[in-house]
Chain A
Amino acid sequence: MTTLRQLAQRLKPSPVMKQQADLTHEEDETLVARAQGGDASAFDVLVERYKQRVYATVYHMTGNHEDANDLVQDAFIKAYRNLHSFKGQSSFYTWIYRIAVNRTINFLKRRKDRGHLSLNDMDANVETDPDYVELMSHITPRREVGLNELQEKLNEAIQKLSEEHRAVVIMHDVQGMTHADIAKVMHCSEGTVRSRLFYARQQLQGLLSDYL
């Protein structure tokens, strides 16, 4: 029979968990240095820190859960295996993004068909978002559509963009990254980022002209 003391002992955080919890407040540079020195738990903290953001970008580029999950896992594995080559000239955040976005672009170029879209639902906070309120109050589409259908049409339109244009519009308009950061991730100039952004938006406006 398990005593209360045994139960408490079991629930007590292990030294590894405790160490990881201590590292969560550390800067990226410190964590990278520790991971380069062989501290795997420091890299775990980096994975935990960036997994959702990297996933979101890759997911919006592929439009598919499973592919996004595989690509993000691969990106973190590649980053871990090549950690010795990371010299800290850019931030870890830019570096992991670059790996993930490049892998996704290569994947999308290899993938012949567009694959099936497995879209995530909107979370409950969407209805309180000022953008949602404004969009719903002013929208005068030629066809009456709800937000979910509108999102579906938008996702289909995004999938029609080229891989590079898609990456730029998602990183800027969805993820809110700056032109400078996108330029670092995509290995191109800020002018190229602006140009791709303009072209991508123009294409999306054309594809969604019946709904905007």
Chain B
Amino acid sequence: MDCKKAQRLYHELADGQVAEPMATALRRHLDECSDCRVFQQRAARLQQLLTLKRHEQPPPAYFENFLGEFHRRLALETMRPVWWERLFSMITLDLPSTWRYGLAGACSLLLVLGFVWKASDHLHGGASQPPVAAVTANPSVATVAHVSTVSVDPKQAVAPSAWRTETSGPQYVLERIAVTPASYETASVRF
């Protein structure tokens, strides 16, 4: 048995945790090895010193009022408000009136800003959404989607026929279509 293992097991032996035949082998090693014997003696003294700490006691009357103190602290703990109650009381009672008005104003402003932001988002109908992604329809790269973002000019996005200038009136898409709409019946049709 090597010294490292013996020294590790010595504490276990002192605790009665080492079973036979390991215990006998360990005792034999301790008889033969002077270094381990010195270690063992020091460990035994440390053990005794630690055990004597049980005699370290507080003054005799120390625990006399322990239960009373426990009840006092428990009552205080029960009466102590929870965090949201403390926060609420701080807002409503403890702060000076100017702070209270300021805090109330800040909260109101935050609410209004939140409402405005939400409303504008709704009106623009997703203008704040990221630009439309274009996917190349290249069959050779079918497995990998090439996504490129396209910057969109609001003027370009609308058909020129819908533009309105100062000199001309509004033009509509149907005016520029050469083909006759299906709903217009020709005069040649006879019943």
Interface, chain A (partner B; CB < 8 A): 44, 47-48, 51-52, 55-56, 59-60, 65, 73-74, 76-77, 80-81, 119-123, 125-126, 129, 131-132, 134-135, 138-139, 147, 150-151, 154, 169, 173-176, 179, 194, 197-198, 201, 204-205, 208-209, 212
Contact = CB atoms under 8 A, between A and B. Distances in A.
Contact of A205 (B42, B55, B67): B42
Q: Which of B47, B55, B73 has the most CB of A within 10 A?
A: B55
Interface stretch (B22-30, B56-64, B98-106, B142-150): B56-64
Nearest to A48: B67
B139 to A, nearest CB: 60
Contacts of B70: 47, 73, 76-77
A132 B52 contact: yes
Contacts of A197: 11
20 contacts: A48-B67, A59-B58, A73-B73, A119-B56, A121-B57, A123-B56, A129-B51, A129-B55, A131-B52, A134-B48, A135-B52, A154-B50, A173-B47, A174-B50, A176-B54, A194-B12, A198-B8, A201-B43, A204-B50, A208-B46
Contacts of A51: 63, 66-67
Contacts of B73: 73-74, 77
A161 B33 CA distance: 29
Contacts of A56: 54
B46 A47 contact: no
Interface residues of B, number: 31
A212 B66 contact: no
B57 A123 contact: yes
B157 to A, nearest CB: 60
A194 B12 CA distance: 8
A109 B8 CA distance: 29
Contacts of A80: 74
A135 B45 contact: yes
B94 interface: no
A77 B50 contact: no
B58 A131 contact: no
B49 interface: yes
Contact of B66 (A47, A138, A174): A47
B69 interface: yes
A151 B58 contact: no
A80 B45 CA distance: 40
B132 to A, nearest CB: 54
A208 B43 CA distance: 11
A121 B52 CA distance: 11
